């Protein structure tokens, strides 16, 4: 059976790529599949997808990956190639999937188009679905193989191949949908944002054999001491700047569900430097918050365990509990802190129990220390459930709460005012600065190219705006718009938002 599979793969031109897998059957290895499709039969051909796959294959080999390179795959070949990739992955591996070629979005799902995809017309979406590879299915397959880290990169055509002729550089409608609902351990990168087209070249004189994205991303992957987030951020900035030189908007996007930082080329710069020098004394504490990981809901001991949300206000903390079951009473305490305290009741009746609703919220002082909140409740049968432990980390909870507010109020990040000239206020960002690591802005450019200095976060009074804090900046009278990009404390980066000065409207 193994010989038969190898003969099939050899016929596809994949045997050489698979030979690297045979000698590395241990766990925690690096395996990669790169696919480039140029020679489409029924939709416009592409020029650089195969070159992009070859370049990425060479790059990943330098990073210690066993690489399979597949070119011009029809539907059957694509399926057999993915099957071979599946078999090369073992639990704990790092898996890297790169695709260059036509891609198409239908009802929020992304499809990778084999070379024999039929020329569909209006109303024939099912024809495309049946003939293509669902991107989400690749994620699912990697999860089923228990890969510890899964990296997916799509340098896919963003125009509609069924409506317009041309290469990936030709503008058109359509685009790929963002992959925001990724499982833990998955990192995905797209060569352009929603409703954007990915450039093959910057001009007719651009002789580079690779697309603008791939030439940049491959180079950044080899930078030592850069984690995946840093690689994606630098790639996005460089590609955006290059596209901006030809008046084109292309902003690569990424979606990060990694638990830890992932370094494909060497150690983190700080870690490498630390390994080369004697141990330093402990650093002095400063007012600004250090980077922290995304707060996660603690693992529950029971399906009936409540969950909690934390909100910081001037008077301290509000903690709201959510229960799956109807409750007749709620009590709580800090672990090791004495007796349980009742939360009381609201002036509202619960239609399920026909009794007053227990108050689902408690208050904690502003200087509350990290610890465990123990919560218990009386269910509809009158039985006591719990206590259930809920972890309280003030720093992580503050960052999560402020990040949520910033995401929901993105249109309020900046505001303009005429007063002895044109002013732009960023008071809103200062108010929630504890969730922000860096603010970058661009004045009359879609690429944020300068840092906006923010006051340090004070955990004792995180929303305080004191005298002397900079809250606005003066602009040239002819300023048309400002672009803004936030880097949050967890290392993730916001979409680039633009704020127009003329009509005070944001988009």
Per-residue pLDDT tens for 98-112?
999 998 888 778 889
Per-residue pLDDT tens for 19-63?
344 444 444 799 999 999 999 999 889 999 999 999 999 999 999
Q: Taking a C-beta distance cutoff of 8 angstroms, is the pair 293, 437 a contact?
A: no
Instruction: Tell me 493's DSSP state.
Output: B
Encoding tokens for residue 51?
């070159």
Q: Taking a C-beta distance cutoff of 8 angstroms, is the pair 250, 238 a contact?
A: no
Residue 10 — φ and ψ, nearest 5°? -65, -40
Q: What is the largest CA-CA distance in the chain?
A: 80
CA distance linking residue 82 with residue 48, whole number of Å:
22
Encoding tokens for residue 227?
């984690």
Percent of the chain with pLDDT over 90: 35
CA distance linking residue 494 with residue 507, whole number of Å:
14
pLDDT grade, residue 506 (50/70/90)? very low
Encoding tokens for residue 337?
């802190």
Q: Which helix (H) or strand (E) holds 374?
A: strand 371-379
Per-residue pLDDT tens for 289-325?
444 434 444 444 445 688 888 988 878 889 999 988 8
CA angle (296 as vertex; 290, 297 as ends), nearest 5: 145
Per-residue pLDDT tens for 452-470?
988 888 888 888 888 888 8
Residue 18 has pLDDT above 50, yes or no: no
Residue 273 has pLDDT above 70, yes or no: no
Residue 498 has pLDDT above 70, yes or no: yes
Residue 187 has pLDDT above 80, yes or no: yes
Percent of the chain with pLDDT over 70: 81
Closest CA to 174 of 160, 157, 188: 160
DSSP letters for 296-318: -PPPPSSTT--EEEEEEETTEEE
Of the segments 8-17, 43-52, 119-128, which one has the largest average pLDDT value?
Answer: 43-52
C-alpha dihedral sign at 466, 467, 470, 472: positive
Counting Cα atoms < 13 Å in the Cβ hemisphere of 481 gives 15
What per-residue confidence (pLDDT) applies to 215?
A: 96
């Amino acid at each position: 059976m193994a010989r038969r599979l190898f003969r099939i793969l050899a016929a596809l031109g994949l045997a050489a790529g698979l030979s690297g897998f045979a000698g590395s059957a241990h766990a925690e290895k690096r395996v990669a599949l790169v696919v480039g499709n140029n020679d489409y039969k029924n939709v416009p051909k592409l020029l650089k997808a195969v070159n992009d796959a070859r370049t990425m294959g060479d790059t990943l080999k330098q990073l210690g990956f066993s690489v399979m390179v597949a070119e011009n795959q029809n539907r059957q070949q694509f399926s057999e190639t993915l099957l071979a990739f599946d078999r090369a992955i073992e639990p704990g591996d790092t898996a890297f999937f790169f695709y260059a070629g036509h891609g198409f979005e239908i009802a929020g799902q992304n499809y990778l188009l084999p070379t024999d995809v039929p020329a569909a017309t209006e109303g024939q979406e099912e024809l495309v679905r049946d003939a293509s590879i669902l991107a989400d299915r690749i994620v699912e397959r990697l999860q089923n193989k228990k890969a510890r880290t899964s990296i997916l990169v799509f340098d896919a055509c963003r125009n509609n191949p069924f409506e317009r002729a041309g290469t990936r550089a030709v503008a058109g409608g359509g685009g790929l949908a963002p992959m925001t609902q990724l499982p833990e351990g998955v990192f995905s990168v797209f060569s352009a944002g929603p409703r954007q087209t990915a450039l093959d070249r910057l001009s007719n004189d651009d002789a580079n054999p690779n697309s603008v994205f791939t030439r940049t991303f491959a180079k950044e992957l080899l930078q030592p001491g850069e984690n995946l987030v840093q690689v994606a951020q630098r790639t996005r900035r460089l590609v955006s700047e290059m596209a901006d030189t030809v008046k084109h908007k292309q902003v690569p996007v990424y979606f990060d569900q990694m638990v830890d930082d992932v370094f494909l080329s060497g150690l983190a710069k700080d870690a490498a430097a630390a390994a080369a020098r004697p141990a330093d004394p402990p650093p002095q504490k400063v007012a600004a918050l250090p980077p922290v990981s995304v707060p996660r809901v603690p693992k529950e001991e029971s399906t009936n365990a409540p969950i909690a949300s934390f909100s910081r206000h001037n008077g301290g903390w509000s903690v709201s509990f959510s229960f799956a079951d109807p409750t007749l009473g709620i009590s709580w305490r800090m672990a090791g802190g004495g007796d349980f305290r009742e939360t009381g009741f609201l002036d509202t009746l619960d239609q399920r129990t026909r009794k007053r609703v227990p108050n689902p919220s408690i208050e904690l002082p502003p200087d509350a220390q990290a610890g465990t909140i123990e919560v218990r409740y009386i269910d509809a049968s009158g039985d006591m459930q719990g206590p259930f432990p809920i972890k309280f980390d003030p720093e992580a909870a503050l960052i999560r709460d402020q990040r949520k507010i910033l995401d929901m109020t993105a249109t309020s990040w900046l505001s303009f005012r005429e007063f002895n000239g044109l002013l732009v206020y960023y008071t809103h960002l200062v108010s929630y600065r504890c969730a922000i690591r860096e603010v970058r802005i661009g004045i009359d450019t879609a690429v944020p190219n300068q840092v906006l200095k923010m006051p340090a976060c004070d955990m004792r009074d995180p929303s305080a705006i004191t005298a002397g804090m900079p809250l606005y900046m003066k602009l040239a009278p002819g300023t048309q718009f400002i672009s803004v990009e936030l880097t949050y404390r967890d290392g993730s980066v916001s979409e680039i938002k633009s704020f127009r000065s003329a009509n005070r409207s944001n988009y």
